[in-house]
Structure 1
Amino acid sequence: MKDRDQDNSETEATAPETGSVGSQLHAAREAAGLSLTEIATRTRVPIRHLEAIEASNYSALPGSTYTIGFTRSYAKALGLDETALLTELRQELAEGGYQNVARTPEYEPADPARVPSRPLAWGAAALAIALIIVYFIWRSFALAPVAEGDAAKPVAEAPIKDQSGPAKAETQIDPSGQVVITARETVWLKIYDAGNNRLYENEMKAGESFTVPKDANNPMIVTGRPQVLDVTIGGKPVPPLGNGERSIADVGISAAALLARKTEAAPVQNATGASTGPAAESAAQQ
């Protein structure tokens, strides 16, 4: 062990050789003069989960898969030998009976303190319903025939003509096309079917892709960074799975499910032909 550490000393930092994985990470962090807040910023892992790892309190973590993923990110942030640490961690999990534990993830990368409150969720749902009602009211007036006068014709004709554009664009995506998920940055994700059979579970590197089997039974995904994933159907892009404000779980990624989400997120065009809505705002920012 000592010879190996000496050989790697020029390229990689090492953790103390004694104690639990959590105590080794704690000692290495203090030796580097870093706080838990700084580690959380670097890894996007909530502070409460970093504290649980350092204390070897694995029951406070979402599950063994998340524990391993969080620990890997922690070790990378400190420049430690993640392979050796993860080997020790798996042994600790097996000895403590945590190896096969899997619970619904409760972390939120963008807001480590807590998940959104129930009133906030209900408020967002009410706002969405109100926006849908306003849109249909606006659309009924926009499509109403003009009674008289030529001056209003350009305004009346513009929405009708332009609204045919998105509808035609929607038909260009083949619902039987192959769904492919590609990572723009390194991200951990898990893909499984309705029977909870794992189709993919790993840390996907930038540029790597996964092709969702067409015969998969309602394939779904869970990940903490959906904004760095590009999703295509038959080679054509669809809106992102999330904006990165929170992790996602049980999100359908079959072609039918993605097209349903795409229809809901389709932009609304105003009388001048300009698109509005989440998809248009994202395109404008790019």
Structure 2
Amino acid sequence: MDNREQEEIEAAKADEGQTAFQSVGAKLRAKREAEGLSLNEIANRTRVPIRHLEAIETSEYSALPGSTYTVGFTKSYAKALGLDDVAIAAEMRGELEQGGYQGMVARAPAYEPTDPARVPPRWLAWSAAGLAVALVAAYFVWRSFALSPDATPTESIKTVAEASIKDQPKPDAATAIDPAGEVVIAAREAVWVKIYDADNKRLYEQEMQPGDRFTVPANANNPMIVTGRPQVLEVTIGGKPVPALGTGERSIADVGVSAAALLARKANTSPAPASGAKSAGSAVPPTSGTR
């Protein structure tokens, strides 16, 4: 065998090795197409946005919010197709590490449009509305008496104004939240959640299922949360609900979930409907596995 034949054989082996490699996204796409499923159907099953599924299939990892999200989305995708989601997640971690994406982290802006701390309390809005009603009523009373010179409008205006203001709702002391109350995070839908402290110690990391609950340790050092779907989480302090952490328009990270941090964000809102969550407790609920 001459040198030329040897070179051709080695080149053929190299080509075979290259074609043997298949990215995780390509595997998932091939399986989806073999099952006759569209990306819309996968998105409905996994609650993962279509743009993120497309980025996974094409290995466009820079278009995804972070390596942890990427692995979580991929695991959900694999599970929806009936594949071994743990093995697929391990492959994705290796692929991200080889591509230099392992350390990327999604960051949310310091101020979110849905920050309830910037919304005026309900009682203040009602008081302002009541004052406006009182002023309008006073004007019409004054006008009616102005057409009758013998009448004395001053007393009537005062009576109407005082009655309108008196009827306005006052802040309900019974709804006050105990700052030392237990913080519980419950899921209404499937959602990936990671909770960690100021030292980056992981307190909880799971794909929560509907009804799953997690109690934030009371002694945790500034616990924070990262998740892509904050709108499906219900947060309570001492059993009393606080406003949602976000609308879901963007993922959130480094958002404090201690009682003090949540109360700093809280507006005086009505109690949220019961979520039907499982029994309370600080233990991590059983799910498909920890990432």
State TM-score, norm by structure 2.
Answer: 0.64
CA 1:156–1:148: 2 relative to 1, 3 Å = farther
User: Which aligned pairs between 1:220-259 and structure 2 lie closer than 5 A?
Assistant: 220-259=224-263
Aligned residues: 231
Partner of 1:39: 42
Partner of 1:148: 155
Q: Deviations over 1:168-217 (max 9, x none)?
A: 1343x211112121223321011123344332222123333222222333
Is contact 1:18–1:24 with CA below 8 Å preserved after alignment?
Answer: no
CA RMSD of superposed structures (Å): 3.9
Q: Deviations over 1:231-264 (max 9, x none)?
A: 22123332332344443333221112222332x2
Is contact 2:189–2:210 with CA below 8 Å preserved after alignment?
Answer: yes
Partner of 1:169: 174
User: Which aligned pairs between 1:200-215 and structure 2 lie closer than 5 A?
Assistant: 200-215=204-219
1:20 aligns with 2:44: no
Query: Structure 2: which amino acid aligns with 1:230?
Result: E
- Alignment partner of 2:167 out of 148, 158, 165: 158
1:216 aligns with 2:225: no
Is contact 2:234–2:244 with CA below 8 Å preserved after alignment?
Answer: yes
CA 1:143–1:259: 2 relative to 1, 3 Å = farther
Distance in 2, matches of 1:204 and 1:59, equals: 25
Flag the structure with more relative contact order, 1 or 2, with Cα contacts below 8 A and sequence separation at least 6.
2
Q: Deviations over 1:9-34 (max 9, x none)?
A: xxxxxxxx972211111111111223
Partner of 2:16: none
Partner of 2:60: 57
State TM-score, norm by structure 1.
Answer: 0.65
Larger mean Cα displacement after TM superposition, 250-259 or 132-141: 132-141
Larger radius of gyration: 2
Query: Structure 2: which amino acid aligns with 1:169?
Result: A
Partner of 2:11: none
Query: Structure 2: which amino acid aligns with 1:155?
Result: S
Deviation (angstroms), 1:152:
5.2
CA 1:207–1:167: 2 relative to 1, 3 Å = same
Partner of 2:105: 103
Distance in 2, matches of 1:187 and 1:239, equals: 18
Query: Structure 2: which amino acid aligns with 1:185?
Result: E
Identical aligned residues as a percent: 59
Distance in 2, matches of 1:97 and 1:170, equals: 50
